[in-house]
């Protein structure tokens, strides 16, 4: 349910607003659509990359928090966390990692993207405090009562949450830093630089994706 409750709006905004290639380049070079014809982008390499990345995140979250719980005194008062605190830490790392991973993949930022991404993280924190701060009469056992607030009172929990999020995003950060541009993204850069004698504005890619481009160009042959 976490995908629906806490991470659905960012991916929805991403699917509607993301621009990998600006509109002007696509209109001038319709052959770029061949890159996605018949699901050509959905290759085994991409599928395996996301699968391995998901397995890596799952192992990192579980065993990372398990390593933290090997410390017998996680709180300042010497008490230890229970199973529900264990799950809450893993869940918190999961929600933040999924949302921040999407933020790293976003190339075309609008105010809507900022609102839903950072708003989703804020909503998760608010909901966790709200749900764990009230004794709900319709629940037979109040297992999550004050768990989230008590978890954040531990310096060790803060440390492991931040550390695991950084470690889970490290492969993506390294790919962004060291990967050479290729495919349609590299061609787009060359086309923009060579089009109209270099007078095309680099801000043209910031135009909304939702604007329709099938009016005068509807007879374009791909």
Report the C-alpha gap between 56 and 97 in whole angstroms: 12
**CA-closest candidate to residue 35, choices 45, 27, 24, 43:** 43
What are the tens digits of pLDDT across the range 90-128? 899 999 999 999 998 888 888 999 999 999 999 999 988
* Count of positions (residues) in the chain: 222
pLDDT at 84 (0 to 100): 80
pLDDT tens per residue, the chain (222 residues)? 778 888 889 999 998 988 877 778 878 887 777 767 767 667 888 889 889 989 999 999 999 888 877 765 555 555 566 778 888 888 999 999 999 999 988 888 889 999 999 999 999 999 888 877 777 777 777 677 767 887 887 787 888 899 999 999 988 888 878 876 554 455 555 554 554 444 444 444 434 433 433 333 333 333
Q: Cα torsion for 190, 172, 10, 61, to the nearest 10°? A: 170
CB 82 within 8 A of CB 178: no
Cα angle, residue 212 at apex, residues 208 and 214 outer, rounded to 5°? 145
pTM: 0.72
Q: DSSP per residue over 25-66, as a string?
A: HHHH-GGGGGGGGGGTT--HHHHHHHHHHHHHHHHHHHHHHH
CB 107 within 8 A of CB 18: yes
Exposed, middle or buried by CB within 10 Å (0-12, 13-18, 19+), for 53? Answer: middle
């Amino acid at each position: 349910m976490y995908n629906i409750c806490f991470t659905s709006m960012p991916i929805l905004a991403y699917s509607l607003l993301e621009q990998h290639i600006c509109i002007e380049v696509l209109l001038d070079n319709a052959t770029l659509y061949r890159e996605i014809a018949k699901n050509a982008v959905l290759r085994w390499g991409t599928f395996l990359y996301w699968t391995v990345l998901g397995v890596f995140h799952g192992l990192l979250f579980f065993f990372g928090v398990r390593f933290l719980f090997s410390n017998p005194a996680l709180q300042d008062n010497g008490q230890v966390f229970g199973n529900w605190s264990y799950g809450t830490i893993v869940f918190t790392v999961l929600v933040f990692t999924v949302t921040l991973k999407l933020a790293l993949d976003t190339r075309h930022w609008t105010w809507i993207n900022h609102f839903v991404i950072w708003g989703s993280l804020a909503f998760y924190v608010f909901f966790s405090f709200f749900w764990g701060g009230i004794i709900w009469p319709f629940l037979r056992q109040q297992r999550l009562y004050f768990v989230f607030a008590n978890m954040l009172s531990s310096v060790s929990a803060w440390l492991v949450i931040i550390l695991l999020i950084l470690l889970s995003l490290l492969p993506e950060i390294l790919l962004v830093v060291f990967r050479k541009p290729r495919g349609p993204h590299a061609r787009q850069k060359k086309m923009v630089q060579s089009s109209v004698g270099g007078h095309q504005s680099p801000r043209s890619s910031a135009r909304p994706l939702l604007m329709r481009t099938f009016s005068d160009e509807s007879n374009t042959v791909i």
